[in-house]
Amino acid sequence: MKRFLSSLLMLGLVLNLTGCMRDMQDQPKYKNLRGSDFFADGKSARDQEEGTIAQSQLRQDPHFFEGKVDGVDAVTFPMKVDRPLLERGRERYDIFCAACHGRTGEGNGMVVQRGFPTPPSYHIDRLKDAPAGYFYNVITNGFGRMYGYASEIEPRDRWAIVAYVRALQQSQNVDIKELTAKEREALDRPAVSEEAAHVPAHH
């Protein structure tokens, strides 16, 4: 009797399990972007309710997300500026900005040489004096004829680019007295090797 009961139990379990798997295979759910005739607007995905915040959308830190401290452009960075950040910034800058602003920020990138409006050089006094948060906002929202990059560049990378732009600005304004003898010597060497310079140009 005991045996009979336990095999009944087993049978029940097995039936239950297969039933369960069937349910999971045929569950009433919507695939991404599939339409629905249940909702009046025909969309299966519901719009976000006004006043609600979805996971990962909580943006509580205005310094980090908006480049503002007490409502004005931040003069400081919301993270430590170190070598990895600068290297990330250089990489992102070369991808997203150099085509117009040039690799050194003069404003003479390839797209500009092909006819796009010329941006101002980063090395003019007004932009050297502009706070870090100002650059962050230009990247986020665009400026005049320049588009914003909010959808392409995430906040941390925008700050990395700002840090790199700051490094570019400094690189063009170094007092020669600050350089070591070795660094000065390197400045006197031609940028291209003698040999390369003597290869006749093809026109």
The residues that touch ligand HEC, with contacts defined as CB under 6 A, are 96-97, 99-101, 111, 116-117, 119-120, 135, 138-139, 143-146, 149, 161, 165
| Least distance in angstroms from the C-beta of 172 to ligand HEC | 15
Tokens of 183: 């660094």
Query: What kind and span of H or E run contains 69?
Result: strand 68-69
Q: Which of 54, 79, 57 is nearest to 136 (CA)?
A: 79
Q: Which is nearer to ligand HEC, 17 or 124 (CB)?
A: 124
> Apex CA 182: angle with CA 178 and CA 184, to 5°?
55
Q: Which is nearer to ligand HEC, 64 or 139 (CB)?
A: 139
Q: Which is nearer to ligand HEC, 64 or 135 (CB)?
A: 135
165 and 77 Cβ atoms separated by less than 8 Å: no
* Side chain identity, residue 145: R
| Least distance in angstroms from the C-beta of 19 to ligand HEC | 56
Question: Helix crossing, 155-171 with 132-141: angle to 10°?
Answer: 130
Q: Which is nearer to ligand HEC, 69 or 112 (CB)?
A: 112
List the beta bridge partners of residue 201.
none
Query: What kind and span of H or E run contains 68?
Result: strand 68-69
| Least distance in angstroms from the C-beta of 75 to ligand HEC | 15
| Residue showing the smallest CB distance to ligand HEC in the complex | 144
| Least distance in angstroms from the C-beta of 82 to ligand HEC | 20
* Side chain identity, residue 157: D
CA 93 – CA 169 distance, rounded (Å): 13
| Least distance in angstroms from the C-beta of 80 to ligand HEC | 20
Q: Which is nearer to ligand HEC, 84 or 117 (CB)?
A: 117
Residue environment code for 70-100, b if the CB has 16+ CB neighbours within 10 A, otherwise e: eeebbeebbeebeeebbebbbebbeebbbeb
| Least distance in angstroms from the C-beta of 200 to ligand HEC | 34
Q: Which is nearer to ligand HEC, 81 or 161 (CB)?
A: 161
Tokens of 23: 């349910």
